[in-house]
Amino acid sequence: MSRPVAFVTGASRGIGLACAEVLAQHGFDLFVADLADHPSAELTHRMEEAGASMLYRQADISDLDGHEALAATCADRLGPIACLVNNAGIGAPVRGDLLGLLPENFDKVMNINLRGTVFLTLAVARQMLAQPADHARSIITITSVSAEMASPERSDYCISKAALSMWVKNLAIRLAPENVGVFEVRPGIIRTDMTAGAAAKYDRLIAEGFVPASRWGEAVDIGAAVAALATGKLGFATGSVLNLDGALSVPRL
């Protein structure tokens, strides 16, 4: 139990997988909660390559009744939780005219992206504070540039991320006296399974200068930033938003 423990949600692929891998490379052991019954072969391989211990649990973060058990299992089996990475989430179930937004789709997005994340965080935060801190402690929530940039065809997703952004601010104020760093990470256009269906569209937009950095973001870009925040070296920046979008969200004339 000499290694710090990171709890990462939605780590079987994409951004979550990259976060888990880079944290493992920085000396963390991993507790992973994901929808799949078993960890992906890629996740298992990367943890082994990094020399990290991993404990995996199948979980749906929208099931609030399971949160306390997840946090307790992580702490009991691996040790005190040093870092929580809130990555699990879904996109808009349907993209289309804002005026046709359906309540059931809105509720599904909110139950996972917002409600599930908020109450899982509370369960983990209580577990963090109940045990001595041997390592720097952090709670890092992955939102999106859509927390600020509107997309009317997927407004439910944007609203969920904007609400999470305000949640991070409130949490940062509450946990600052406890020396827990709380951060929001906002990815831009990242090459993952979630964006694969719109790859041609984003290729065109990037070629036309939509992203000033003139490239896709990669999942490892997010993982590297999360690991830097998790080390505690930026602890006094608690409450900060880190834009990882190649300057996409910078206002321009």
- CA–CA–CA angle 201, 203, 147 (5° rounding): 70
- What does the pLDDT read at residue 195? 85
pLDDT score for 17: 97
What is the token pair recorded at 89? Answer: 């989430």
Domains of the chain: 5-243 (3.40.50.720)
Q: Which residues are catalytic?
A: 157
Residue type, 204: R
Q: What is the pLDDT along the chain (253 residues), one digit of tens a residue?
A: 589 999 999 999 999 999 999 999 999 999 999 999 999 999 999 999 999 999 999 999 999 999 999 999 999 999 999 999 999 999 999 999 999 999 999 999 999 999 999 999 999 999 999 988 889 999 999 999 999 999 999 999 999 999 999 999 999 999 999 999 999 999 999 999 888 888 999 999 999 999 999 999 999 999 999 999 999 999 999 999 999 999 999 999 8
Selection from 31, 41, 24 nearest residue 10 by Cα: 31
Torsion angle, alpha carbons of 15, 20, 22, 25, to 10: -170
Burial class (CB in 10 A: 0-12, 13-18, 19+), 151: middle
pLDDT, residue 1, reads: 54
What does the angle CA 100 – CA 102 – CA 108 come to, to the nearest 5 degrees?
145
Query: How would you label 193-227 residue by residue, b for 16+ Cβ within 10 Å and e otherwise?
Result: eebeeeeeebeeebeeeebeeeebbebebbbbbbb
